Amino acid sequence: MAVTRTFLLIDDDTDDRELFAEVLAAVDPVITCKQAIDGEEAFRKLQKGTEQPDIIFLDINLPVMNGWQFLRKIKTADGLKDIPVIMYSTSSDQNDKETANVLGASCFLTKPNSYKDLKGLMEAIVAAARQNNPATAICKAIASYRRSQ
């Protein structure tokens, strides 16, 4: 059974990071949530790191190296390009979603507007993370969660 152990959340917003990690921990204490505040820091850590995250959650508006730059970089980096990336942004702009798709993000998750939503989504994500192809499963879970709302 494929096991998802680690998420990496790249977001410069402290509240959002904390909220994400907190809700994740509440929903599933086993999955660790690593964090980075900009693309550059994240990319540096990933290049060095030995324990790579299973899935990356990526914000768009980031200092130093923004989400698009990071996405472009990681998707062309040997050894890192297979780590699935799920966009995690405030934006719900269709253009942004298309850009994400073109640059190779697995899917686009607009930051939920309510705590309840975040919790529900996280439950769906965590449940999907246990499946064989976690990124695809998570994207499906997000889509179906959105539809059910």
Partner 1 sequence: MNTNVSVIPEFLAGGGEMGARIREYDWAATPLGPVDTWPQSLRTCIRIMLTSRQPIWIGWGKELIKFYNDPYKAIVGGKHPWALGSPASVVWKDIWKDIEPMLRQVMQEDEGTYVESQLLIMERNGYAEETYYTFSYTPIPGDDGGTAGMICANVDNTDRIISERQLKTLTQLGKRLAGLQASRDVIQQTIYTLEENPQDFPFALFYTVSDNRATLVNATELGDAAPQVPAEIDLDGPGLGALLQRAALLRQPQILEGLEAIMGAMPMGSWTIRPTKAVILPIVSATVKEPYGFLVAGFNPYRLPDEKYMGFCSLIMDQIMSGFADVHLLEEERKRTAALAEIDRAKTAFFSNISHEFRTPLTLLLGPIEEALQNPAIDTDLKAQLDIAYRNALRMQKLVNTLLEFSRIEAERVDGKFTRVDICRLTVDLASTFRSAVEKAGMALNIECSYTEAEVYVDVEMWEKIVLNLLSNAFKYTNQGHIDVRVQVADEQVLLSVTDTGIGIAADQLNKIFDRFHRVENIQGRSQEGTGIGLAMVKELVKIHKGNISVSSHPGAGSTFTVVIPTGKAHLEDGRIEENDPDTIISKQADAFLQEALKWLPEAPQYEAATNDASDPALYKVLLADDNADMREYVQRLLAHQFRVITAVNGEDAFSKMLQYKPDLLLSDIMMPKLDGFGLLQQVRNHPDTRHIPVIFLSARAGEESKVEGLDAGADDYLVKPFSARELLARVEANIKIAKSRIAAENNVRNMIMQSPIPMVLLRGDTFSIEIVNEKALELWGRDHENAINKPLLEVLPELDKQGFGQILHEVYTSGVPYHGNEIPLELMRFGKPEQLYLNFIYTPLRDAHNVVTGIIAVGVDVSEQVIARRAVEQNEQELTELANAMPQLVWVAGPKGETVYINNRLSQFAGERNLQYGDGYWGWVALTHPQDLAPTETAWQKAIATGSVFQFEHRMLMKDGSYRWHLSRGIPQKDDNGQTLKWFGTTTDIHTAREYAALLEQEVKNRTHELQELNIALQRSNEDLQQFAHVASHDLKEPVRKIKTFSNRLQYEYGDLLPEKGKTFLDKVQRATERIFSMIEGVLSYSTLNAAEQEIEKVDLNKTLADIEEDLEVSIQQKRARIVRSELPVVEGASILIYQLFYNLINNSLKFARTDELPVIHITCSTLQEGGQDYVEVAITDNGIGFEQEYAKRIFDTFTRLNAKDKFEGTGLGLALCKKIVERHHGSITATGIRDEGAVFTILLPLIQIQRPFKADSNGSNENLFTNR
Should residue 32 be labelled a site residue for partner 1 when binding is judged by CB under 8 A? yes
Measured CA to CA in angstroms, residue 53 lies from 8, 50, 111, 114, 127 at distances of 6, 9, 20, 26, 17
The whole-angstrom separation of Cα 4 and Cα 111 is: 21
Using CB under 8 A as the binding rule, whether residue 18 contacts partner 1 is answered as no
Closest approach of partner 1 to the CB of residue 139, in Å: 18
What whole-number distance in Å separates Cα of residue 20 and Cα of residue 35? Answer: 10
Binding residues among 88-127 for partner 1 as defined by CB under 8 A: 90-95, 111-119
Give the C-alpha separation, 108 to 58, whole Å: 9
Residue found by looking up tokens 């769906």 in the block: 124
DSSP percent split of the chain into helix, strand, coil, nearest 5: 50, 15, 35
Please work out the total of residues on this chain that contact partner 1, with binding judged by CB under 8 A.
Answer: 28
Q: Which of residues 53-92 bind partner 1 (CB under 8 A)?
A: 61, 90-92
Minimum distance, C-beta of residue 78 to partner 1, in the bound complex (Å): 26
**Least CB distance from residue 90 to partner 1, whole Å?**
5
Give yes or no for residue 14 binding partner 1 (CB under 8 A). no
Nearer to partner 1, 89 or 106 (CB): 89
Name beta bridge partners: 137.
none
Binding residues for partner 1, rule: CB under 8 A, are: 1, 3, 5, 13, 15-16, 19, 29-30, 32, 61, 90-95, 111-119, 147, 149
